[in-house]
Amino acid sequence: MTTPALPAPATGPYRHYVYAYPHKTAYRALEDRPHLAGLWADEPKDALSLYLHIPFCEIRCGFCNLFTRVGAPDGLTGAYLDALDRQAGAVREALAGTGEVRFATAAFGGGTPTFLTAAELDRLCDIAEHRMGADLRAVPLSVEASPATATADRLAVLARRGVTRLSLGVQSFIDSEARAAVRPQRRADVDTALGRVREAGIPVLNIDLIYGIDGQTPVTWLRSLDAALAWRPEELYLYPLYVRPLTGLDRLGGHPDTAWDEQRLALYRVGRDHLLAHGYVQRSMRMFRRADAPPEGAGDYACQTDGMIGLGCGARSYTTTLHYSFDYAVGMNRIRSIIDDYVTRPAAAFAHAEYGRAMDADEARRRHLLQSLLQADGLDTADYRARFGTSPADDFGRELDRFAALGWLTDTAAPGAPATVSGTLRLTPEGLAHSDAIGPDLFSPAVRAAMAAYDRK
């Protein structure tokens, strides 16, 4: 396999957060609108992920480019759940006759799923269980929440329905920093919400924090970290602040520069070292787990290779040959229009894929490499060879050599060992720090071109 010539990598450590590949800005309208039954007919379905998207929030944070709207007119959340139920029925009908379907993991995201009332959250769980057939009490189930919506009645529903992980978006325990990120909240309310989560007895608490906020210093960053550590969360995610197009911070005129890159990288190292010193284990650039936390995730699900079924107008679905979703937007007017269209659709309209990107052999290799390499455990080269018939060095030698020369990558196989010898490609600590530069450097030229040509809306 010949690796195509690549342009010189962009400078700076913060180019793109790669949580999935390809990014949705590389998706396009699918002219053939393939039927889901055909897409899933020959797919392995014994260890799928189920994702339900709730596109509502009480506020729109200044850094947020997720598919969500602020508030909901009377009746909209109920109409949305009605449409979600119709979509679930259509998807399950399309899967009928394509082999046994089993979900190994599930998640509710958004938006803010806990924007829904307690009764609506119960209904959401019913859709996942009774419509889609996911056993929520037998698989890892993660739900995102905000401090304002983490109320006792909502948390009681989630605990009763089998939620194993609750992720609370705090971002900063310093009120002035929260305001600078256009996330108005009070520290006292955050602590109250965290107390409720602990009282609910959900096994894993994750706290999201952001570094690089205007006015943040190493001292205030450590203060936020210590405030989080006081709750002994099983997980902590540390996110670098990005200013993305069409977001609130973008409208305020905040844009990256070299000094900001240096500030974020310095704060990342402060946070990483602080958590490691307090008994946390780094699982990726962003994710840290308490060493004695309950086991994470589903043991038989691999995000690099296994399929996903997403429900809701902000959700993605993954098959071997196609990643698909609905239309994507960041601007509020366009998001509202997409949601309004979604809630009026009949069941039959959900039986086809509308927007997406085909996955050929090269893109499949890139996805597997990316989503393995950006985890602390790294990439098992023998597994890669067994899956694709080539080695990572065969397919991406120039990129991997570049990372190694920068001190970002190591290979556990002995130098000069034959290709049959198993090794692990693993990012060094400095490589993990530069994950947001490494990931984009592995995008295919076609995906880069599609992302660059995306009409932002």
Q: Name the E strands within 115-188.
A: 141-145, 165-171
Residue 181 has pLDDT above 70, yes or no: yes
Which residue's entry shows tokens 């490589």? 431
Q: How much is the pLDDT for 303?
A: 74
Is 247 in a helix, a strand, or coil? coil
DSSP-derived letter for residue 139 is S
Q: What is the pLDDT of residues 216-263, one digit of tens each?
A: 999 999 999 999 999 999 999 999 999 888 888 888 875 567 899 999
Contact 230, 267 (CB under 8 A): no
Q: Name the E strands within 69-161.
A: 69-70, 103-110, 141-145
Q: Is the peptide bond prior to 111 cis by the omega test (within 30 degrees of 0)?
A: yes
Contact 204, 252 (CB under 8 A): no
Q: Is the dihedral of CA 76, 457, 454, 254 positive or negative?
A: negative
CATH fold group of domain 30-290:
pyruvate-formate lyase- activating enzyme (3.80.30)
Q: How far is CA 232 from CA 169, 205, 415, in A?
A: 16, 9, 42
Q: How much is the pLDDT for 446?
A: 97
Q: What is the pLDDT of residues 110-154, one digit of tens each?
A: 999 999 999 999 999 999 999 999 999 999 999 999 999 999 999
Question: Does 361-450 match 30-290 at the fold level?
Answer: no
Q: How much is the pLDDT for 417?
A: 46
Q: How much is the pLDDT for 292?
A: 94
Q: How much is the pLDDT for 255?
A: 59
Helical (H) or strand (E) element with 309: strand 308-311
Lowest mean pLDDT among 97-101, 164-168, 211-215, 440-444: 97-101
Q: What is the pTM of this model?
A: 0.93
The domain locations on the chain are 30-290, 361-450
Average pLDDT value for residue range 301-329: 90
Contact 211, 239 (CB under 8 A): yes
317: β partners = 324
* Check whether domain 361-450 has CATH 1.10.10.10, yes or no: no
Q: Which residue has the higher pLDDT, 302 or 264?
A: 264
Q: What is the spatial distance between Cα 371 and Cα 302, in angstroms, rounded to a whole number?
A: 10
Residue type, 314: G
The closest alpha carbon to 14, from 281, 299, 255, 273, belongs to 255
Residue 413 has pLDDT above 70, yes or no: no
